[in-house]
Each structure stands twice: as structure tokens, then as C-alpha cells.
Homo-oligomer: A and B are copies of this chain.
Amino acid sequence: MATDQTSGDDRRGIERELKRGSLELIVLHLLAPGEAYGYEIVSKLTAETNGALEVTDGTLYPVLYRLERAGFVTVRWETQERGVPRKYYRLTDTGRDELARLRYEWTSFAKAMGKLLRQGKEAE
């Protein structure tokens, strides 16, 4: 009867939506210390947030592609002696500006949300 769709794995659904618009910031941030390749970024993110902000590689690669197209990162293939070739990403100057901008954007949003949610809680 078209109901109980909003039940079971909602938790994942919400996390997914909350992540929206934050991933570019996350990736740019992870690239700030220096270059890294895709697979590395995935594990870096999992490690640095204790699994709180995990993504799969299928999610990450499109993000990296977007960042490249926008000129925020440059790409370098490293064909190694042994192992599969790696694609290293590095921030451009524009990318660093964008990182600052997104960081500001995110912080403003989070502040506004935090302020709103705190309202009406003061009396308790």
C-alpha cells in the first residue's frame, strides 16, 4: 500500500543526502597537504574520520573528474615498475581558492544550522 518505504535503512539515506555538496570540499581538503591518488584518498578519508565519512571509489572518481574539469586539480599518471598505474591529483592555485571558498560556505551553513537548532532549547 505504498507505505513503509520510509522505514528501514533510512539512516544511510540521510547520511547520503547530508554528504551532498560536501564531498568536493572534503576531497580538496585531503589534497591540501600534497598530491594523492584516488584509492589513497578513499582510505585517507575513512582513516581520518574513523569511518564517519566513508565513500566508495565509485563515488570518488566522478568527483575527481569534476574537479579536474573545473581546473581545481591537475592529474599525473605514474606508471610504476610493479603494480597498476596510479593517477595522482594535485591542487592548483584555483583549487586552493575553491577550497577556501567551500570551507567558508560550509562553515556558514553549519553555523546557521547550529544556531537554528539551538533555538528553543534554551528554556529546557
Residues of A near any B CB (own CB < 8 A): 2-3, 6, 11, 14-22, 25-26, 29, 32-33, 48-49, 52-53, 66, 69-71, 102-103, 105-110, 112-117, 119-120
Contact = CB atoms under 8 A, between A and B. Distances in A.
A80 to B, nearest CB: 27
Copies in the complex: 2
Contacts of A66: 6
SS class, residues of chain A in contact with chain B? helix
A53 B116 CA distance: 9
Contacts of A48: 116, 119
B15 A109 contact: yes
A28 to B, nearest CB: 11
